[in-house]
Amino acid sequence: MSQLLIDNITVEFPGRKGDFIAVESVTLDLQAGEILGVVGESGAGKSTVGNAVIGLLQKPGRMIQGEILLDGNRIDDLDENLMRALRGKRIGMIFQDPLTSLNPLETVVEQLIETIDLHLKVGAKAARKRAIDLLGQVGIDNAEVRCDQYPHQFSGGMRQRVVIALALCAEPDVIIADEPTTALDVSVQAQILDLMRGICRDRNVGMILITHDMGVIAEVTDRVAVMYHGRLVELGKTAQVLGQPKHEYTKSLISAVPRSDRRIDRFPLVTYIEDVGDMPDIDLDAHWLGQAKAYEKNDGPLLKLTDLSMRFITRHSIFPSKRQFLTAVDEVSFDIEHGEVFGIVGESGSGKSTIARMITGIYQPTGGKIEFAGTDLTALKTAKEINPWRRQMQMVFQDPFSSLNARMRVADIVAEPINFHKQAASKEECREIVNDLLEIVGLGKVAARKFPHEFSGGQRQRISIARALATRPRFLVCDEPTSALDVSIQAQVLNLLKDLQEELGLTMMFISHDLPVIRQMCDRVMVMKDGKLCEIAATEDLFNNPQHEYSRHLLDLIPKFGAS
């Protein structure tokens, strides 16, 4: 008999404009000791399934059909008190963000003792001993001492270990893990996945692992369930589903995952996702946009950074000697040639976004030179001198939700840079250009009258790209442009960026923490760590023959998927 059986459940969220079915007739079973992956893109209903199991559906959501059985006993109709006793004791939970799932005002051991005592009633002393044991088991060194520290004294990965220890407190039969590694860097992710794998095997605990990341699925799960728009489309052994997917959606999902083993020209056409218009028949060379190519060529690289540094003040003082700084970028020098796609890769806090923001003028560097087309931008002072250069470089940002002003229409957002830099002779011309830009990024001119909230993340990223192109730049900085997007949307947006880069002859700086994406996009790559440059190499060289120790480390950590 299966340990947990989710039998034909349907969850709906009643709303102002009709009821929304988040999960429709989903049936899953979980055996003891196995890890069942639930994978899907945003809005697939995978987290809702997890919440339904632990009885924490967000109001006013409700289960209108089906039942959930734990060891053969129905648990979905229990009242709140019984359910609370069950949660933590028989069903453990691990959430995405270890920062918010721990109480910052209590030491780690206090939180563990509270949970242990609540469910096992063993007394304070025994509970403390057990807490320390558990911390040791989840890989926290020196648990005796560290357990009396507060959550903020632990790193992200260590915090997630504490959360796992919390989930294990009362020896649960089943653990629900909702995106447990999404907030972590790759190197930490690998360790946490390893730990979870070990726990399930050793303790014979079943785990439902909810994630959007195919790499995570490939790494640790035994079986995988693929969800799409609230429905279960495929369920089977992980190797089989990933190797020979049956359902069309699974196929497109897998083909959209960037490969780390070799470079392909374009992502295969992914079906089964939101429709976007094809690139229209606009002769870009003759078009307004194509005139970007007419920039004067300078000798030497387009962009040359020399000893660029950035320090942020972390402690203010009127006495210079007492000020404290964080060095985000430490004397980094590199060149970007005309027409190349230059990648920067590194973990969070490595300073890659700071470099982008210094180049585009959001931050003033504290040291070093930025030469663009032979002109030292750091020497220019007035807006009048700088603005012609600003126009030549634009940026696509990471977060599709905050990078567009929610109070402006799309047409106004895209028109603003055109008007500011006086790129159009008349209002009519400006409107035409905006419409063309929206066509080129695949949205169509109907998008112009709408507001950003009417679009999905991928569509907003397209608006962002249209806005960046609206000054007719020759240098485009993309700061993690797809890391907030679902993998199939990511493939589309990356294809679009590639098309535009080639047709407009753009020079591009592409920042990402995701090595497979870098491999697909870039000609040369720079690896950064803690604000310092580790290695610059041609992409293929880096992947085949990394020189720096840290580069090798990063490459080792890529979840092996798609090698089949």
Partner 1 sequence: MERGVVADFFFRISDSDLWYSFWHTPIAVGSAALSLILIVGAGFAPFIAPFNPFDLATLDLLDSNLPPTWQVGGDPRYWLGTDDQGRDILSAVLYGSRISLLVGFASVALSLVVGVGLGLVSGYMGGRVDAIIMRIADVQLSFPAILIALLVDGVVRNIMPKEVHEELALYVIIFAIAISGWVQYARTVRSSVMAEKVKEYVQAGQVIGLGAWAIMWRHILPNILGPVFVIATLHLALAIITEATLSFLGVGLPPTTPSLGTLIRIGNEYLFSGEWWITIFPGAALVLIALSVNLFGDWLRDAINPKLL
In the complex, the smallest distance separating the C-beta of residue 375 from partner 1, rounded to whole angstroms, is: 15
Q: To 10 degrees, the CA torsion angle through 143, 148, 152, 153?
A: -60
CB 164 within 8 A of CB 199: yes
**CA–CA separation, 426 vs 431, rounded Å?**
9
CB closer to partner 1 out of 3 and 471: 471
Collapsing DSSP to helix, strand or coil, 250 comes out as helix
- With 0-12 CB in 10 A as exposed, 13-18 as middle and 19+ as buried, what is 544? exposed
CB closer to partner 1 out of 413 and 533: 413
CB closer to partner 1 out of 3 and 403: 403
The pair of three-digit structure tokens given for residue 471, joined into one six-digit string = 């000054």
Nearest of 222, 114, 217, 219 to residue 170 by alpha carbon: 114
In the complex, the smallest distance separating the C-beta of residue 272 from partner 1, rounded to whole angstroms, is: 26
In the complex, the smallest distance separating the C-beta of residue 50 from partner 1, rounded to whole angstroms, is: 26
In the complex, the smallest distance separating the C-beta of residue 471 from partner 1, rounded to whole angstroms, is: 7
DSSP secondary structure code for residue 512 in this structure: E
The residues that bridge with 472 in the sheet, in sequence order, are none
Return the residue matching tokens 């721990």: 102
In the complex, the smallest distance separating the C-beta of residue 426 from partner 1, rounded to whole angstroms, is: 20
**CA–CA separation, 356 vs 37, rounded Å?**
36
In the complex, the smallest distance separating the C-beta of residue 240 from partner 1, rounded to whole angstroms, is: 41
CA distances from 484 to 101, 430, 514 (A): 22, 31, 12
Collapsing DSSP to helix, strand or coil, 36 comes out as strand
CB closer to partner 1 out of 471 and 488: 471
CB closer to partner 1 out of 145 and 406: 406
CB 303 within 8 A of CB 371: yes
- With 0-12 CB in 10 A as exposed, 13-18 as middle and 19+ as buried, what is 418? buried
Binding site for partner 1 (CB under 8 A): 16, 357, 360-362, 383, 386-387, 390-391, 393-395, 397-399, 402-408, 416-417, 420-421, 449, 464, 467, 471
The pair of three-digit structure tokens given for residue 287, joined into one six-digit string = 């078009």
In the complex, the smallest distance separating the C-beta of residue 382 from partner 1, rounded to whole angstroms, is: 11
CB closer to partner 1 out of 68 and 463: 463
**CA–CA separation, 514 vs 534, rounded Å?**
17
In the complex, the smallest distance separating the C-beta of residue 30 from partner 1, rounded to whole angstroms, is: 37
**CA–CA separation, 68 vs 90, rounded Å?**
14
**CA–CA separation, 223 vs 177, rounded Å?**
15
CB closer to partner 1 out of 139 and 361: 361
CB closer to partner 1 out of 362 and 538: 362
Task: For the chain, give the longest Cα–Cα distance.
Answer: 80
In the complex, the smallest distance separating the C-beta of residue 468 from partner 1, rounded to whole angstroms, is: 8
